[in-house]
Amino acid sequence: MHGFAYKNGSLHCEDVDLSALVQEHGTPLYVYSAGTILDHYTRLDQALEGVEHEVAYAVKANSNLSVLRLLAEHGASFDIVSGGELFRVIKAGGDPAHCTFAGVGKTREEIEYALKQGIYSFNVESAEELRYLDKVAGELGMVAPAAVRVNPNVDAKTHKYISTGKSENKFGVDFEAISDLYARAAEELPNVKLRGLQMHIGSQLTSIKPFVEAVEKVTPLVKQLKADHGIEFWSIGGGIGIVYQDSLESGSVDWWDSKSEQDRPLTLAQYGDALLPKLKDLGLKILLEPGRAIVGNAGVLLTECLYEKKGSAKTFKIVDAGMNDLIRPALYEGHHEIVPVKEPGSERVKVDVVGPICESGDFFCQDRELPDFQPGEVIALMSAGAYGFVMASNYNSRPFPAEILVEGAEAKVVRKRQTLDDLIAGEA
């Protein structure tokens, strides 16, 4: 569920009218619900009660300092994929000793920085990286904590761009090679301490079956590594999907109650109920690395309709946000529900909602039945809290939008809108 709903004819985030935010801050504008973020984090944390665990928020989903600070203040750990993300976590009050560092291409500078900050573990993606980690740590006179990422060759049945657990993906080490790699590392790499095992099979998974399949397949390997090498944790990754198709309605308990068990999307409680019995007797700390599941439905992108263009084949609603602000629809046809900020009537029209970028791929939907909003009216692109602003760019020399964090009736600017002078800062 989430904190967005119509109240008195206008879309609200918690107790704040989004139309009032637009009047004050303009568009495009990202707005996040702090209550939703904390609710999702807490629900996932509670879903694993009964086993030692940490919820390590995947910073790449939304790296705004205020979002990170909110989670750090409530006990979250963090999953990072760059030195820059570690820097952000530290600035937000997060503890490097509760951070794991993933990614297939860590540089020397990033490794040295993370080691000196006291990172909990490097999630290593290859034998070559493990040897390089040993070399860098040795030159610093340190021992690097690490966990190898196992590729269990499980089909997550998600979009090919966000599938990571099959043998043809660039991530991880083949399942069959893990035991030998740990044995060789124990003998040959004195400056590495393999303290765990990691896996992640993909993102936006809406069925529990791939999670269960992966855990069941990897469990015997985990037991063996614990017996042979004394590993202390198993990171089972993230990937829990969110509701995109009916995002606004999914904020209501009634919407969830109206769904049959077969049609209801995967919930955090179901995730815990299915996996907890398979994890609780391993005697290992379990790490989770959710990103989208915590922040995805906690954010919207607000954009104003500029023009309506009626052609012989299509009707276009042209808005002031573009693929540079939210790239998911252009990148892999990601679906975002589109709703007017002013509560609409029943009339619907088939339209393309497109942005101002000089690319044919600059669209938010195509041939979709939507309320007939008009130029000057504002719409909300739902489920934009994850992989929204973090993937934004200055393409076409367009400044970044502002970001707002709402807590109850209070709305705080957590990133100022970029100015034209900001746009060229640092250039000669």
Q: Mind giving me the DSSP string for 124-146?
A: E-SHHHHHHHHHHHHHTT--EEE
Decide if 3 contacts 14 (C-beta within 8 A). Answer: yes
Q: Report the distance separating Cα 123 and Cα 145, nearest Å.
A: 9
Which residue(s) pair with 6 in the sheet? 11
For residue 258, give Cα distances in angstroms to 5, 49, 251: 18, 28, 13
Sign of CA dihedral 280, 286, 292, 295: positive
28: preceding bond cis by omega (within 30 degrees)? yes
- Angle 395-33-72 (CA atoms, 0-180°, nearest 5)? 90
Catalytic residue among 13, 99, 305, 358: 358
**Residue holding tokens 């935010």?**
21
Buried b / exposed e across 63-91, counting CB within 10 Å, b at 16+?
A: bbebbbbbbbeeebbbbbbbbebbebbbe
Q: Report the distance separating Cα 315 and Cα 353, nearest Å.
A: 9
* Catalytic annotation present for 358: yes
Q: Mind giving me the DSSP string for 300-345?
A: EEEEEEEEEEE-SS-EEEEES--TTT--HHHHH-----EEESBPP-
Residue numbers belonging to the annotated binding site? 239, 289-292, 328, 332, 359, 387
Instruction: Find the largest Cα–Cα distance for the chain.
Output: 71
First to last CA, the chain: 48
**Residue holding tokens 């690490």?**
146
Q: Report the distance separating Cα 417 and Cα 420, nearest Å.
A: 10
CB within 8 Å of 394: residues ≥ 6 apart:
324, 400, 418, 423
Residue numbers belonging to the annotated binding site for substrate? 292, 328, 332, 359, 387
Decide if 48 contacts 380 (C-beta within 8 A). Answer: no
CB within 8 Å of 187: residues ≥ 6 apart:
none
Query: Which are the catalytic amino acids?
Result: 358
